[in-house]
Amino acid sequence: MVRNRSLEGKTVIVTGASMGIGRHMVRECARLGAHTIIIARSTDKLERLRSEILMQYDVAVDSFTLDMGDRNALRQTFETIKWQYPKIDVLINNAGFGVFTQFEEMRFEDIEHMFAVNVLGMMTATRMILPKMRQQGDGHVINVASMAGKVATPKSIVYSASKAAVLSFTNGLRSEVRKQGIRVTAVNLGPVKTNFFKTADPEGNYVKSVERWMLEPEAVAEKVIAVIGRKKREINLPFSMNAGAKLYQLFPGAVDTFAGRIINKK
């Protein structure tokens, strides 16, 4: 295989890096020669990933333990990163989680934490890094949103609302920084085979209903990393769910009526 040299010598930040899609994105960046800065809550998992990368690839990798919902700690960590690294080429805002339950039954603490991590954490990290990218005249921000941000469904309406905010923010940011040499991409995914659902769907009902459409995290990571440096507006996976989201935007009433049984399988 001919090595893609587009990331060699680049510095890439990945939040939510210790598991799932984030972990695979870090590995793909390292394979392509990037210096990765990996961020997650678990020090042990970060160190295991860091050790694996250093053993397999001739690249630098640095880790920072951080809860993206803690904005004071987030600011301190990203302030350190800004001063420690002369150039940041890519910020991948991947950290996020969901809780799938009826809105009236959801704890308000879970609602607050979801928005703190999924939305405010993403915005804060982006705001901390943008001045450096603007000064460089180059950079790429990739925000992992969700198909749920395009079509809200029962039991995941708060998660959907948080990801709709991510998507809306991403679209607006793209317009604001376009003339400054900064690219902005939204990643809208359907269900992925990761530990995400251990928190979101502990009983496993939703996973059973969508198992046929579930994406492999390795394949998703490859597609996301492949767009770095390109003016790619969105990545939408899988195709069938993206088609359904477009149909919903055109005929919301009809989709609510005829797809109700599928939508209510959580």
Sequence ranges of the domains in the chain: 11-263
153 phi-psi bin (left φ>0, alpha ψ -120 to 50, beta other): beta
- CATH number of the domain located at residue range(s) 11-263 in this protein: 3.40.50.720
Can the peptide bond before residue 202 be classed as cis, meaning omega within 30 degrees of 0? no
Tell me how crowded residue 261 is: count the other CB atoms within 10 A of its CB.
Answer: 7
- The separation between CA 201 and the C-alpha centre of its own chain, rounded to angstroms, equals 19
The per-residue pLDDT for 209 is: 56
Q: What is the DSSP letter of 161?
A: H
β-partners of residue 35 are: 11
What is the tens place of the pLDDT at every residue in 192-225?
775 665 555 566 555 555 555 677 889 999 999 9
Q: Quick one: pLDDT at residue 72?
A: 97
pLDDT at 3 (0 to 100): 45
Tokens of residue 53, six digits: 């990368």
pTM over 0.75: yes
Count of CB atoms situated within 10 Å of the CB of 50: 18
Q: Burial, 131: exposed, middle or buried (Cβ in 10 Å; 0-12, 13-18, 19+)?
A: exposed
pLDDT at 243: 47
Instruction: Tell me which residues are annotated as active site.
Output: 159
* pLDDT value for 190: 82
Model confidence pLDDT, tens digit, residues 60-82:
999 999 999 999 999 999 999 99
- pLDDT of 151 reads 85
Give pLDDT, residue 155. 85
pLDDT of residue 1: 39
Regions of the chain short of the pLDDT cut 50: 1-4, 242-243, 247
What gap in Å lies between CA 186 and CA 195, rounded to an integer?
22
Contact indicator for 11, 35 with CB cutoff of 8 Å: yes
Query: Apex CA 234: angle with CA 233 and CA 236, to 5°?
Result: 160
Q: Report the alpha-carbon distance of residue 12 to residue 218 in Å, rounded.
A: 18
